[in-house]
Structure 1
């Protein structure tokens, strides 16, 4: 009984020094600061799990239209193929596109209205995802779309027409055929403007050792022309809207941790399938609801910032766990032998929690830039 007071003090000191308070706040403290820092820079992150997952990203897939490009294309070329006036070709194309919400269709309608053309009403309108549209004007069957659609409808595309299509596509333009009652009437070419910050974002991702893939419904030649301007090596073109999620799954099967960046309704399934869905703030509501990260400023460079913020946050978590464990690892053996006063043990434990909070707060100094 003579050693009971000393044993009791040792017992109390062990209980105090082994308290896992700092361990319990090590992860949430850093995540809270990281998510807050992202919100400060216009990057809304839906919880710490997304931030933790972003640190492991190995591949980022970008949808092209509205993400890497402005999504505000304009008509650049109208090429007659059957000795028809350009105005007539544009008028018919605008008529069938008047019922479409696709950016390319809106560009054609804008061009027709700018030229004060009379746009007739279309009946039996039908959109064919990833291929084009068709409709009827006074019983004339009008078709607008890509090669695949026209070949499936029995149209013949001669070498001269193919050469024109190839030339336009090599310039990074989306070339659409216009047909009426089985006869090719002309070609309407539309081009979108690349976002000025997109090239910088791609270069920054490459510096971070992250693979970049561009996903688009455009034909291969047009897609490759745009990819060259952006510095993207991997292009997956001629993808139907419903197949985007499958493309994400295929890349995931190779062991890649994938982020999908998009803005449209058609991107929502792919955003949900990816390990992390990143939605552009100006995009469709369904895309923003699906995405785990929302880029409020519509700046694709924030994709890089998100990854860097995630890595900085995970580093803070590891540092916090070190500070949480180091006091326990050193203090418990000392306390067990009765060499540590309970008051000192309590101070050490408080210092452990304080060091975790201070270390997490240092994350507020993270620079929200891609440079």
Structure 2
């Protein structure tokens, strides 16, 4: 829009200068005819229809697919995207976690679950809520907790019955020098190979057991990744899952790059690394843990899910989409928009080449081509109609 306004100002200055010169050399009538002719012929009206109108039609088209576009310019960038980054949980998986294994050490299963649920009482993360809800459904007695802290992508910490309790991934617990027995480590590896998310429950510096959760694979995501690969777009998986789950993930999904054990900030860093290599990166996310990566992307997509604690009004992301598959439909629209914009700009340029020279020649006493401002108006209308007709292809 700033470019259009600048062109209008430049147009007014040029036509005004020409009119002023003719006013003092040939009189009012010549100044009026030439000034108006140049102003109309040189006006960026055709450019307005060439770009903003085309993007408006494209926005209407993708809105019919349930997609909300918050950034017109993102449509222009999307056609060049060659890397798609996305998370694992709730995108490549179905999003319905459930507990599969309780592996206590030195206590029984109900006690292990109750301990973890007590620490997770105020948790915002999906895993914590599943643990708390499961314990509640089993009518387990939970001890009240205080000093609650939640680290996205790592785990939670709370004081329960005067003891510091942590529930989180093994690497995070080890950073506090929590002792994990050889038996538990072997079990962790076994569970990870099966594609299960493993949380260690610890009191102080002692691991008291494991809780494994499963989120079934999303069959639609398998087909989606195949279509992305066919579109010559490189895939990048960003996940907080441990590296030992990589073989399970790559066995089920056709992924070009997998980055594991990432914090939200780590995901953003990986996006920055790919962009530094000259890649155009689109990021798909669906919860607050994905926000840093989304905000560092060339084009960002938020999968609509009001239960996951993220609002696009606050995040100001480019697209809000109902499903993962919406990405391909929007990218196809972006390619169509790109082709249409190129043709429209050529038509707009042609309008200047055809209309501006005769308008300038009206400054001569005997112009070789008889010209009138109305002729310039008719010319602009004709070229605008051609551009509009071409733009309607995007709708």
TM range (shorter): 0.7 to 0.9
Report the 3-state secondary structure (helix = DSSP H, G, I; strand = E; otherwise coil) of the residue aligned with 2:91: helix
Match of 1:304 in 2: 328
**Structure 1 residue 169 and structure 2 residue 192: aligned?**
yes
2:391 to 360, 366, 369: 360
Match of 2:315 in 1: 290
1:244 and 1:360, CA in 2 relative to 1: closer, same or farther beyond 3 A?
Answer: same
CA–CA separation in structure 1 for the residues paired with 2:170 and 2:158: 17
Deviation at 1:339, TM superposition (A): 6.6
Match of 2:347 in 1: 323
Whether the aligned pair in 2 keeps the contact of 1:72 and 1:107 (CA below 8 Å) is: no
CA–CA separation in structure 1 for the residues paired with 2:382 and 2:76: 26
1:149 and 1:325, CA in 2 relative to 1: closer, same or farther beyond 3 A?
Answer: closer
Q: Structure 1 residues 59-68 or 310-319, which shifts more?
A: 59-68
Whether the aligned pair in 2 keeps the contact of 1:81 and 1:186 (CA below 8 Å) is: yes
Whether the aligned pair in 2 keeps the contact of 1:97 and 1:106 (CA below 8 Å) is: yes
**Structure 1 residue 76 and structure 2 residue 130: aligned?**
no
CA–CA separation in structure 2 for the residues paired with 1:353 and 1:125: 62
CA–CA separation in structure 2 for the residues paired with 1:184 and 1:103: 22
Q: Where in structure 2 are the equivalents of 1:105-124 lying within 5 Å?
A: 105-124=128-147
How big is the alpha-carbon RMSD for the aligned residues of Structure 1 and Structure 2? 3.0
- TM-score when normalising by structure 1: 0.84
Match of 2:62 in 1: 38
Report the 3-state secondary structure (helix = DSSP H, G, I; strand = E; otherwise coil) of the residue aligned with 1:184: strand
Aligned positions, number: 355
**Structure 1 residue 98 and structure 2 residue 121: aligned?**
yes
Q: Where in structure 2 are the equivalents of 1:228-247 lying within 5 Å?
A: 228-247=251-270
Deviation at 1:96, TM superposition (A): 0.8
Q: Structure 1 residues 347-356 or 322-331, which shifts more?
A: 322-331
Q: Where in structure 2 are the equivalents of 1:181-330 lying within 5 Å?
A: 181-282=204-305, 283-297=308-322, 299-326=323-350, 328-329=352-353
Match of 1:155 in 2: 178
1:42 and 1:340, CA in 2 relative to 1: closer, same or farther beyond 3 A?
Answer: farther
Whether the aligned pair in 1 keeps the contact of 2:240 and 2:260 (CA below 8 Å) is: yes
Match of 1:26 in 2: 50
For residues 42-61 of structure 1, give each alpha carbon's deviation from its aligned partner in whole angstroms, at most 9, with x where no partner exists: 11112321211212212121
1:143 and 1:360, CA in 2 relative to 1: closer, same or farther beyond 3 A?
Answer: same
CA–CA separation in structure 2 for the residues paired with 1:224 and 1:338: 77
Deviation at 1:221, TM superposition (A): 2.1
Match of 1:368 in 2: none
Query: What residue ranges of structure 2 are gaps of 5+ in the alignment?
Result: 1-29, 362-366
CA–CA separation in structure 2 for the residues paired with 1:287 and 1:25: 29
1:327 and 1:164, CA in 2 relative to 1: closer, same or farther beyond 3 A?
Answer: same
1:351 to 382, 390, 393: 382
1:328 and 1:340, CA in 2 relative to 1: closer, same or farther beyond 3 A?
Answer: farther
1:55 to 79, 96, 110: 79
**Which structure ranks higher in relative contact order (CA pairs < 8 Å, sequence separation ≥ 6)?**
1
Deviation at 1:294, TM superposition (A): 3.2
Deviation at 1:105, TM superposition (A): 0.8
Deviation at 1:329, TM superposition (A): 4.3
CA–CA separation in structure 2 for the residues paired with 1:32 and 1:213: 31
